[in-house]
């Protein structure tokens, strides 16, 4: 890990409570804490008298009640999704019906690249494949979210239809940049090349504070995103070093880079190593032979 990258695991989500994050921005954290979601998915309300709801989260009666209490009868102009992983989007249609609001996001869930022969998407059950937007949001457009203007930024990498939303000095960064951990990039759902490009994109934006969909705000978002980029570049170097040292499979690379972990963490780490190997292969720095009985990796 890059020395300059420090994760924040001390966040108090105040689950189910409406927490003011900024003027016109309120957070309500869903009760779906896990190894992959940290303290739970953060839903956000944007606006004052008229609202937009960002990432309504999982299907949960208690979370729906908390959202209704925070909305307090005000009109909801749209349900916005950063992306269509189910911890963010599973309740989208339910909340849309409850609050009589359309659902807007970056298009139906899609893979970052086509499936290869005999390949399986490890996140297939985590995606909302059948959810179709009432409006497809476009990179760079400015929309009215409730009664406030928000600019849409396409940030693929974690998944292909991932968006971030700029509101004043804040960037609602979804799962693209989070303070509690580095983002899972799992091909073919995600793409490390896209992730690097999206990091560069958000670093160049004027927004200074990032407000992620899991965990707390990141005060200096661009500096943190640069540290994440350095961390991923170091991981690339570690993968290459492992292969130079004789590792020829994903499991062998994983064993050299990561200390022993529980099964869930090991599964996520294996997906991330796969993303780095694909990225390096595309750059011509690794050779990858894919066979029915496994992947053979060499220089």
Q: Are residues 178 and 102 part of one domain?
A: yes
Range of the domain at 49: 19-229
Rounded CA-CA distance 274/280 in Å is 10
Cβ pair 157, 197 in contact under 8 A:
yes
Residue 132 lies in a domain: yes
**pTM of the entire predicted model:** 0.96
- DSSP states along 248-271: -SHHHHHHHHSPP--HHHHHHHHH
Give the pLDDT band of residue 93 (cuts 50, 70, 90).
very high
Q: Are residues 111 and 72 part of one domain?
A: yes
Residue 290: which CATH number?
1.10.10
What's the whole-number mean pLDDT along residues 33-41? Answer: 96
Domain end, chosen from 202, 229, 256, is at 229
Q: Are residues 131 and 179 part of one domain?
A: yes
Residue 1 lies in a domain: no
Give the pLDDT band of residue 259 (cuts 50, 70, 90).
confident
Given a cut of 70, is residue 251 above it in pLDDT?
Answer: yes
Q: Are residues 154 and 277 part of one domain?
A: no
Q: Are residues 241 and 222 part of one domain?
A: no
Q: Which residues contact 94 (CB under 8 A, 6 or more apart)?
A: 56, 59, 64
Q: Are residues 249 and 158 part of one domain?
A: no
Given a cut of 80, is residue 293 above it in pLDDT?
Answer: no
Residue 242 lies in a domain: yes
Q: Are residues 238 and 120 part of one domain?
A: no
Q: Are residues 192 and 64 part of one domain?
A: yes
Query: For the segment 108-119, what is each residue's pLDDT rounded down to a tens digit?
Result: 999 999 999 889
Give the pLDDT band of residue 295 (cuts 50, 70, 90).
confident
Report how many domains make up the chain: 2
Q: Are residues 148 and 52 part of one domain?
A: yes
Given a cut of 90, is residue 221 above it in pLDDT?
Answer: yes
Query: For the segment 149-191, what is each residue's pLDDT rounded down to a tens digit?
Result: 999 999 999 999 999 999 999 999 999 999 999 999 999 999 9
Q: Are residues 250 and 196 part of one domain?
A: no
Residue 48 lies in a domain: yes
The reported pLDDT for the residue numbered 262 is 83
Given a cut of 70, is residue 2 above it in pLDDT?
Answer: no
Domain end, chosen from 203, 229, 255, is at 229
Domain end, chosen from 229, 244, 279, is at 229
């Amino acid at each position: 890990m890059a020395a300059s990258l420090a994760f924040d695991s001390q966040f108090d989500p105040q689950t189910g409570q409406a927490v003011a994050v900024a003027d016109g921005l309120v957070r309500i954290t869903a009760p779906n804490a896990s190894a992959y979601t940290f303290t739970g998915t953060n839903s956000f309300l944007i606006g004052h008298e008229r609202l937009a709801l960002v990432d309504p989260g999982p299907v949960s009666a208690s979370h729906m009640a908390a959202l209704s209490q925070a909305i307090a009868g005000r009109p909801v102009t749209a349900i916005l999704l950063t992306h269509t992983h189910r911890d963010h989007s599973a309740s989208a249609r339910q909340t849309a019906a409850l609050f009589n609001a359309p659902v807007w996001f970056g298009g139906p869930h899609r893979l970052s690249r086509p499936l290869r022969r005999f390949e399986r998407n490890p996140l297939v059950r985590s995606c909302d494949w059948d959810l179709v937007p009432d409006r497809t949001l476009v990179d760079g457009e400015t929309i009215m979210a409730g009664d406030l203007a928000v600019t849409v930024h396409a940030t693929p990498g974690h998944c292909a239809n991932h968006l971030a939303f700029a509101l004043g000095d804040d960037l609602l960064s979804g799962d693209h940049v989070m303070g509690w951990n580095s983002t899972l990039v799992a091909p073919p759902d995600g793409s490390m090349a896209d992730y690097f490009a999206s990091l560069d994109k958000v670093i160049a934006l004027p927004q200074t504070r990032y407000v992620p969909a899991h965990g707390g705000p990141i005060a200096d978002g661009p500096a943190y995103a640069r540290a994440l980029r350095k961390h991923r570049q170091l991981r690339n170097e570690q993968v290459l070093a492992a292969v130079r040292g004789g590792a020829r499979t994903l499991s062998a690379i994983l064993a050299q880079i990561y200390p022993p972990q529980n099964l869930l963490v090991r599964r996520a780490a294996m997906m991330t190593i796969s993303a780095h190997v694909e990225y390096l292969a595309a750059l011509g720095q690794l050779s990858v032979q894919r066979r029915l009985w496994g992947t053979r990796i060499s220089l």
